[in-house]
């Protein structure tokens, strides 16, 4: 596992010693370079919760991954650079019915810098672009989105403002976990009919002024507006077009045949 190769993968040639500005740069470059995707599940490849395997997939093969892969590897990067990241577990909210996923549903990180604790998450998909301070009630504008953290008892709620309404993305506590603690849920998200990743073949990448998302037979382009909103356009894809879209738009070439999927999630 080569640190320099990882930095090249996220379009950085070097990074300075641990600092907030360096952490912000690393975080932003990762989400702008590494897709959030579930394509392994739909192309015959098992996701293995092993750091060297994840490194090979994301850095060597130019792929992306879901939270355990992206945040797991980002944690390794931070450790190599002298940071002291902590791994936390979170539970993602289903916006359709307001229920939360199972414990260890989602992996996030925190880092202590400059007298504050910062939340890092490069593996959510349409989430934060840079770390945000672990402070209740503080609104944080990033690109076209506004985020905040809300506290109820010992639970923190990550929220995003959508049309003047705050929607919870996920909730978490500050209890520290290990990378190994997510092994059972990593298997669940690859096999359960209730898993978002089983029901949808998805690949999504943050862009400087928007987001590009492939799901099933659709390519969705989101462009941020100056007013803080967004404009979405959708293109319907044939089976034959999908491999070229993944290669040209996301830099991804799969080793197995992809079976496109875009079904409603079973609760």
211 contacts 205 by C-beta, under 8 angstroms: yes
Q: Which of 27, 67, 120, 157 is catalytic?
A: 67
- Where in the sequence of the chain do the CATH 3.30.2140.20 domains occur? 3-135+174-182
- Which of 58-62, 132-136, 161-165, 167-171 comes out lowest in average pLDDT? 161-165
- pLDDT for 79 equals 96
Confidence check: pLDDT of 266 > 70 = no
Kindly state the tokens that stand for 29.
């470059």
User: Beta partners for 155?
Assistant: 152
Which is more confident, 224 or 87?
A: 87
What's the pLDDT score for residue 209? 87
Instruction: Say what percent of the chain tops pLDDT 70.
Output: 98
121 catalytic residue (yes or no) = yes
d(CA 35, CA 143): 18
pLDDT (0 to 100) of residue 258: 97
Rounded Cα distance between 105 and 82, Å, is: 28
Q: Which class is 3-135+174-182 in CATH? A: alpha beta
CA gap 225, 212 in Å, rounded: 15
Exposed/middle/buried for 236, CB within 10 Å: 0-12, 13-18, 19+?
A: exposed
Pseudo-torsion of CA 82, 86, 92, 98, nearest 10°? Answer: -130
pLDDT at 227: 64
pTM (2 d.p.): 0.94
Structure tokens at 241: 């077009």
Separate counts of helices (H) and strands (E) for the chain: 7, 13
pLDDT of residue 22: 96
What is the tens place of the pLDDT at every residue in 118-160?
A: 999 999 988 999 999 999 999 998 887 889 999 999 999 999 8
Cβ–Cβ under 8 Å, residues 8 and 106: no
The Cα diameter of the chain in Å comes to: 53
Query: For residue 43, what pLDDT is reported?
Result: 97
- The rounded distance, in Å, linking the Cα atoms of 151 and 156 is 5
Average pLDDT (55-77) is 97
Catalytic residue among 42, 105, 121, 186: 121
Q: Which of 233, 172, 219, 189 is nearest to 41 (CA)?
A: 189
pLDDT bin (cut points 50, 70, 90) of residue 73 is very high
67 classed as catalytic = yes
- On average, the pLDDT of the chain sits at 94
Q: Where in the chain is the domain with CATH 3.30.2140.10?
A: 184-250
| pLDDT at residue 144, rounded to an integer | 74
| pLDDT classification of 55: cutoffs 50, 70, 90 | very high
CATH class of 184-250: alpha beta
Ranges 32-36, 189-193, 225-229: which has the least confidence: 225-229
β-bridge mates for residue 85, sequence order: none
């Amino acid at each position: 596992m080569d640190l320099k190769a990882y930095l090249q993968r996220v379009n950085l040639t070097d990074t300075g010693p641990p600092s907030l500005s360096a952490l912000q740069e690393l975080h932003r470059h990762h989400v702008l370079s590494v897709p959030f995707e579930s394509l392994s599940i739909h192309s015959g490849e098992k996701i293995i919760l092993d750091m060297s395997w994840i490194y090979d997939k994301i850095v060597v093969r130019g792929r992306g991954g879901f939270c355990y892969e992206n945040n797991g590897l980002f944690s390794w990067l931070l450790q190599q650079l002298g940071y002291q990241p902590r791994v936390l577990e979170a539970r993602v909210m289903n916006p359709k019915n307001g229920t939360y996923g199972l414990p260890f549903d989602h992996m996030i990180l925190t880092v202590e810098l400059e007298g504050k604790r910062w939340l890092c998450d490069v593996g959510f998909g349409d989430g934060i672009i840079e770390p945000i301070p672990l402070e209740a009630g503080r609104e944080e504008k990033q690109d076209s989105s506004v985020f905040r953290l809300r506290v109820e008892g010992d639970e923190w709620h990550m929220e995003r403002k959508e049309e003047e309404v705050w929607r919870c993305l996920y909730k978490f506590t500050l209890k520290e976990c290990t990378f190994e603690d997510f092994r059972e849920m990593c298997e669940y998200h690859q096999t359960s009919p209730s898993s978002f990743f089983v029901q949808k073949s998805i690949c999504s990448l943050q862009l400087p002024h928007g987001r590009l998302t492939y799901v099933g037979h659709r390519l969705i382009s989101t462009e941020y507006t100056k007013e803080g909103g967004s404009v979405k356009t959708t293109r319907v894809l044939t089976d034959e077009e999908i491999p070229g879209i993944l290669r040209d738009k996301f830099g991804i070439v799969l080793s197995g045949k992809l079976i496109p999927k875009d079904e409603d999630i079973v609760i």
